[in-house]
């Protein structure tokens, strides 16, 4: 009996020893401002995740990002130098990466610099530990491959346009960087009306403004033909925020927590035509107006019974089909599901449209997003649902569309 048990234990120990080692969690609640607390070391452990001493790049394959969430990967740098961080989504996906230093400050955010909806950052890093947050553009789920390496290592992505790869971002806006002044310079008294300027990014890539007291502000760069990407630096030249494609191809950053008094710089690059005029604005942040804009862009669902118009479709028994004119603002539908099952929703171009659809539950929890299903501009999403009320937001990809979208909903129930 003892010998048989001993043999069993020996076999079990051997089997466990032969399994690949599980990734090691960072297990540091303060890492990267708390973001890295549940992160995974790219090399399997802290000791094997130093990119400066790695013989080659380090990959994490099949990184699974949940809907509305992110996955965090950690690496370290022991020698200052040029490094490359990339996330390549599976077909149909669109990744965004945020890179944070040990304190949690974002040093780079990127959406599409890898080309083909992949994310890529080529950046000079000082020694330290860094966290890479990978998420899906639009808040859905995505599966991606992650690569962290030095500049001389083989790239995972082709780079922007297949040849962009050696650069992602702009030169930092340092205290001595030439920049155009917005408004009167100190703009506290001008925030209610807002201060604006319109120039091409090629001619005016940097703007400055100052605050004499803490202020909550909204910063925007608008012209879809230019596809602007904006970066915000403090008075010492430290990057504090950046954004691409907040609303269609326009960029926007909301500082809902007041920015401290001090000097700030807006830097821009264009992902399309840098000779197109781009309107840059800084105005006071209005939470009510910001929420209304989120309803209008489809980023959040309006509350049932509120002031934002909602078309009530009633119970979804089997299928519903309707045509809807959709302009610059989202059109919202509500429907109820009497029993659990599967819902398939299609948004099909009838005229002058590029549909985008988002599904939320009745209290505003995000469920699913889709743009460009398959090889067309039409959208489709499939979601497993429980009994209850759901909200469907239908938008155009950009303000250049204002035509008819055919919306079709189908409900499937499990076979008895």
Looking at the domain 18-162, which fold is it? Jelly Rolls (2.60.120)
CA 324 – CA 52 distance, rounded (Å): 55
Q: Name the residue with tokens 């094997």.
A: 48
The mean-pLDDT minimum among 161-170, 379-388, 392-401 falls in 161-170
According to CATH, what is the number of the domain 298-412? 2.60.120.380
Which pLDDT band, with edges at 50, 70 and 90, does 169 fall under?
Answer: low
Q: How far is CA 253 from CA 6, 250, 380, 398, in A?
A: 63, 11, 29, 19
According to CATH, what is the number of the domain 180-285? 2.60.120.380
Q: Does the pLDDT at position 22 exceed 60?
A: no
pTM beyond 0.85, yes or no? no
Q: How far is CA 55 from CA 49, 154, 315, in A?
A: 11, 12, 60
Residues 6 or more apart whose CB falls under 8 angstroms from that of 231 comprise 169, 170, 173, 239, 241, 242, 266, 267, 268
SS3 77: strand
pLDDT tens digits for range 227-269: 898 989 999 887 788 887 776 688 999 998 899 999 999 999 8
Residue boundaries of the structural domains of the chain: 18-162, 180-285, 298-412
Is 180-285 in the same CATH topology as 18-162?
yes
pLDDT tens digits for range 297-338: 898 999 999 999 999 999 999 999 999 999 989 999 999 999
């Amino acid at each position: 009996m003892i010998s048989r048990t001993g043999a069993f234990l020996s076999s079990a120990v051997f089997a466990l020893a032969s399994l690949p080692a599980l990734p090691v969690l960072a297990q540091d609640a303060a890492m990267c401002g708390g973001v890295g607390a549940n992160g995974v070391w790219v090399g399997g452990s802290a000791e094997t995740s130093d990119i400066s001493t790695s013989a080659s790049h380090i990959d994490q394959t099949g990184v699974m990002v949940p809907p509305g969430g992110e996955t965090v990967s950690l690496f370290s740098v022991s020698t200052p130098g040029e490094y490359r961080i990339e996330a390549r989504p599976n077909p149909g996906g669109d990744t965004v990466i945020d890179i944070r230093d040990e304190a949690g400050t974002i040093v780079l955010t990127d959406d599409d610099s890898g080309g083909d909806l992949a994310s890529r950052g080529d950046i000079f890093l000082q020694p330290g530990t860094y966290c890479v947050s990978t998420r899906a553009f639009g808040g859905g789920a995505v599966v991606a491959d992650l690569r962290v390496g030095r500049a001389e290592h083989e790239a995972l992505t082709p780079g922007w346009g297949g040849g962009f790869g050696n650069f992602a971002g702009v030169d930092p806006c340092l205290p001595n960087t030439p920049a155009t002044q917005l408004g009167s310079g100190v703009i506290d008294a001008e925030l209610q009306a807002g201060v604006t300027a319109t120039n091409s990014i090629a001619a005016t890539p940097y703007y400055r403004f100052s605050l004499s007291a803490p202020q909550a502000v909204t910063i925007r760069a608008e012209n879809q033909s230019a596809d602007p990407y904006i970066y915000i630096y403090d008075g010492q030249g430290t990057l504090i925020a950046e954004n691409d494609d907040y609303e269609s191809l326009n960029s926007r950053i909301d500082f809902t927590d007041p920015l401290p008094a001090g000097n700030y710089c807006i830097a821009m690059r264009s992902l399309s035509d840098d000779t197109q005029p781009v309107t840059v604005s800084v105005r006071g942040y209005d939470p009510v107006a910001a929420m209304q804009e989120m309803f209008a862009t489809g980023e959040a669902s309006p509350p049932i019974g509120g002031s934002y118009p909602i078309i009530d479709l009633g119970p979804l028994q089997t299928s519903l089909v309707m045509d809807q004119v959709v302009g610059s603002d989202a059109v919202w539908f509500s429907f109820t599901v009497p029993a659990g099952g599967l819902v398939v929703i299609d948004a099909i171009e009838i005229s002058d449209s590029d549909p985008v659809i988002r599904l939320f539950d009745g209290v505003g929890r995000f469920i699913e997003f889709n743009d460009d299903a398959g090889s067309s501009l039409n959208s489709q999403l499939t979601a497993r649902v429980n009994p209850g009320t759901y909200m469907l937001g239908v938008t155009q990809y950009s303000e250049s569309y204002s035509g008819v979208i055919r919306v079709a909903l189908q409900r499937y129930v499990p076979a008895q």
